[in-house]
Amino acid sequence: MLLDLFGTMVNFHSVFFSTLNRVLIDHGLEDKAEDFKTRWQSFVFQGQSKGGFITVREDFINSLSSVLGGLGCKGDLDVYAEGVIDGMFKNLREAELFPEVPKVIAALEAAGLPWAIVSNVDEEDLQAIVTNQGLRPASAISSERVRSYKPDGAIFQAALDDLGLPASRVLHVGDSPVADVKGAIDAGIDVLWVNRRNEPFPDDLPPPGWDVPDLSGLPALLLRD
């Protein structure tokens, strides 16, 4: 089994939104919150499409600085963005797992099911989260390690190689319709979509095999006779 990290195992929302609110307040953008969020979301995780791979941290810093500049903010925006993003990732390293995750992982490990993490995150941040949460995946693949972001197939293939399993024997579990569902399907892997916000799945993407509100039913699905 392959597992996405943020939004699937780790609850990143409070960290992200506290960072977002800090930026809005610091620059007096409270009345432009939706415009800011739309612009920033359109920039992030584009590091692979800008002529050469850059890390997630670099991508977030560059995109935040660019969006603030586009909204007319003044000052040394690069330095400001670096400080904000460094703080965000420091807090993400300590972010909590969703409540059901420890029990689910324990059940899968007790049954001898090998699992790996595949995440669009930098290597040091991924390893810090794995250590801080006491996780024991058979493999943990970061986008930085393979210099590729989901939905690109390289990150999925690296996990399959580490597990020594073909795509036909693996299930990927993730929350992003594009990065996780489309990415895994394109790689020939069955997908379970974690739909914690009860949102409709996009009509223009290949649908997942399963749609669940959280991970609590995962052991029953995978370990059934």
Residue range 60-80: average pLDDT? 92
Residue range 195-215: average pLDDT? 95
Residue range 79-84: average pLDDT? 96
CA distance 98 to 218: 14
Which residue type occupies 19?
T
Residue range 201-221: average pLDDT? 95
Q: What confidence score (pLDDT) does residue 16 get?
A: 86
CA distance 106 to 178: 28
Reduce the DSSP state of residue 174 to 3 states and report it: strand
Q: What confidence score (pLDDT) does residue 52 get?
A: 77
C-alpha pair distances (Å), 47 with each of 18, 55, 162, 168, 185: 24, 7, 25, 30, 22
- Kindly give, in sequence order, each residue whose CB lies less than 8 Å from that of residue 149, ignoring residues fewer than 6 positions away: 45, 47, 48, 120, 143, 155, 179
Place of tokens 């399959």: 160
User: Does position 41 have pLDDT exceeding 60, yes or no?
Assistant: yes
Provide the pLDDT confidence category of residue 36 given band limits of 50, 70 and 90: confident
Other beta carbons less than 10 A from residue 165's beta carbon: 16
pTM: 0.91
Reported as a single tens digit per residue, the pLDDT across 169-178 is: 999 999 999 9
DSSP letter string over 21-37? HHHHHHTT-GGGHHHHH
CA distance 215 to 224: 15
User: Does position 46 have pLDDT exceeding 70, yes or no?
Assistant: no
Q: Across the chain, which distance is largest between two alpha carbons, in Å?
A: 62
User: Does position 59 have pLDDT exceeding 70, yes or no?
Assistant: yes
Q: Tell me what the pLDDT averaged over the chain comes to.
A: 92
Reported as a single tens digit per residue, the pLDDT across 110-169 is: 999 999 999 999 999 999 999 999 999 999 999 999 998 999 999 999 999 999 999 999
Percent of the chain exceeding pLDDT 90 equals: 78
Which residue type occupies 112?
G
Residue range 210-220: average pLDDT? 94
Q: What confidence score (pLDDT) does residue 43 get?
A: 62
